[in-house]
């Protein structure tokens, strides 16, 4: 989640503290507290499963990069595909996830330009993973 959850919660804590000081516009204070409650609700939905989802996603993307490395002979993708998550702090998993998804984006672009039958199969697998990535991030009340 971007902005990062700990930073947002810290900001909300400060906002709640400021809201206790008399003299604020009640409508503005109410709106900010309402939005803060909604944000806390969104964080609550995601936080317990976030590390698991990131580990699962990183593993899935590494598998796709391995296929891309084999198809196109790309050493960079091969190196990334052999990695493993060892630091399970969400911030560390998110950093790795960003690196892997950046490589996946490049692989997707490369696959679209390739004509081989195996490239079509890999392209379909990439779309499957992108769809799965939105399922991992789904929250109750999502409009889509």
Partner 1 sequence: MTHPLEPRLAAYLAGKMPHAEDLAVDQLSRISGGASRETYRFRLIWRERGEPRERRLILRRDPPASLIETERRIEFEAYRAFRNTPVPVPEMLYLEEESDALDHPFFIAEEISGYQAGPGTLWTEPYLGCHARLGRRKWEILGEISKADPQALGMTAVLPAGAPEDCWRRELDHWEGVLDADQTEPLPIVRAAIRWLRANPPPPPARLSVVHGDYRTGNFLYDTEGGVHGILDWEMCHLGDPLEDLGWSFNPVWSFGRELVGGLLPRDEAIAAWEAASGLKADPGALRWWELMGCVKGQAIWISSGKAWIDGGNREPIMVYPPWALQNAQDRAILKVMGRL
List interacting residues with partner 1 (CB under 8 A). Answer: 1-3, 8, 11-12, 15, 23, 25-28, 30-32, 34-36, 38-39, 42-43, 94, 98, 101-102, 104-105, 108-109, 112, 127, 130-131, 133-134, 137-139, 141-144
Nearest distance in Å: CB 70, partner 1: 20
9 or 66, CB closer to partner 1?
9
Q: What are phi and psi of 4, to 5 degrees?
A: -70, 145
Q: How far apart are CA 144 and CA 142, in angstroms?
A: 5
User: In a 10 Å sphere around its CB, with 0-12 CB exposed, 13-18 middle and 19+ buried, how is residue 7 labelled?
Assistant: exposed
67: nearest Cα among 18, 108, 15: 108
Nearest distance in Å: CB 101, partner 1: 4
Nearest distance in Å: CB 48, partner 1: 16
Are 30 and 16 in contact by the 8 Å Cβ rule? The answer is no
Nearest distance in Å: CB 117, partner 1: 20
């Amino acid at each position: 989640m971007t902005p990062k959850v700990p930073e947002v919660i810290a900001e909300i804590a400060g906002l709640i503290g400021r809201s206790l000081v008399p003299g604020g516009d009640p409508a503005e204070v109410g709106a900010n507290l309402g939005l803060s409650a909604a944000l806390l609700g969104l964080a609550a939905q995601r936080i317990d499963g976030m590390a698991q989802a990131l580990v699962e996603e990183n593993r899935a993307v590494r598998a796709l990069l391995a296929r891309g490395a084999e198809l196109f002979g790309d050493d960079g993708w091969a190196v990334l595909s052999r990695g493993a998550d060892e630091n399970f702090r969400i911030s560390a998993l998110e950093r790795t996830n960003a690196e892997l998804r950046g490589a996946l984006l490049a692989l997707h672009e490369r696959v679209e330009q390739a004509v081989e039958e195996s490239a079509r199969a890999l392209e379909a697998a990439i779309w499957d993973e992108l769809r799965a990535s939105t399922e991992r991030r789904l929250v109750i009340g999502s409009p889509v």
